[in-house]
């Protein structure tokens, strides 16, 4: 029980993500979270602006319910299933983050230097969140999937487009982490 309340190691978490995917496959569905962003556009009336959003969104309600569950799961995990252990980051990561001006890296799930309301309500802070979210939403639909749809479901199905997309994810991620973040967060 004590270990259950601590963060779970990768060899517990990884197989459980496979389990989630297999359950959805057994239900006759696929595993892909970014489709929900497209469904939400469709519900909001985006079909008026592009045929891309003209589809019967009601056939995608199941996936919105999965996301609703994921929100509830997030709430349950932090409220009842955690002992608020700090994240066991590598010492190199902590040093690198401190160099960029981050305080107490790993104390919470997210850095207050990006996500606290003080920062978010500044011009730079809100610009970071809007640009980041926009890139995620635009890129995922352009590539036809995200971490769940391409990296987990697509690779599990040995799909070549997913392998190319995951290479793309890393090209973008490495550029951001190694070259852009040091420009944004300078002390």
Partner 1 sequence: MKFLKYLLVGILFGIVLVKSEAVSWYRIFEMFKFQSFHMYGIIGSSVSLGILFIWLIKKLGIRSIKGEKIETVPKEKGLTRNLLGGAIFGLGWALAGTCPGPMFVLVGTGFFSMLIVIAAAILGTFVYGVLKDKLPH
CB of 95 to partner 1, least distance (A): 10
CB of 100 to partner 1, least distance (A): 9
Q: Measured from the CB atom, is 101 or 126 closer to partner 1?
A: 126
> What do you get for the CA distance between the two ends of the chain, in Å?
42
CB of 76 to partner 1, least distance (A): 6
CB of 144 to partner 1, least distance (A): 5
CB of 2 to partner 1, least distance (A): 14
3-state secondary structure string across the chain: CHHHHCCCCHHHHHHHHHHHHHHHHHCCCCCCCCHHHHHHHHHCCHHHCCHHHCCCHHHHHHHHHHHHHHHHHHHHHHHHCCCCCCCCCCHHHHHHHHHCCCCCCCCCCCCHHHHCHHHHCCHHHHHHHHHHHHHHHHHHHHHCCCHHHHHHHHHHCCCHHHHHHHHHHHHHHHHHHHHHHHHHCCC
Q: Measured from the CB atom, is 40 or 57 closer to partner 1?
A: 40
> Closest by alpha carbon to 125, among 133, 115, 110?
115
Q: Measured from the CB atom, is 57 or 67 closer to partner 1?
A: 67
Tokens linked to 105: 């890296």
């Amino acid at each position: 029980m004590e270990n259950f309340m601590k963060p779970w190691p990768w060899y517990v978490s990884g197989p459980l993500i496979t389990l989630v995917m297999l359950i959805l496959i057994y239900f006759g569905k696929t595993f892909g979270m970014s489709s929900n962003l497209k469904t939400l556009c469709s519900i909001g009336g985006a079909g008026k602006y592009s045929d891309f959003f003209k589809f019967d969104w009601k056939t995608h309600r199941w996936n919105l319910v999965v996301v609703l569950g994921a929100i509830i799961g997030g709430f349950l995990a932090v409220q009842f299933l955690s002992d608020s252990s700090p994240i066991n980051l590598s010492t190199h990561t902590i040093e690198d983050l401190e160099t960029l001006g981050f305080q107490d890296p790993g104390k919470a799930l997210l850095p207050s230097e990006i996500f606290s309301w003080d920062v978010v309500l500044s011009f730079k802070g809100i610009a970071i969140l809007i640009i980041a979210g926009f890139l995620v939403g635009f890129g995922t639909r352009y590539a036809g999937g995200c971490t769940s749809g391409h990296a987990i479901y697509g690779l599990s199905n040995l799909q070549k487009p997913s392998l190319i997309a995951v290479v793309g994810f890393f090209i973008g991620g490495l550029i951001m982490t190694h070259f852009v973040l040091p420009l944004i967060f300078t002390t």
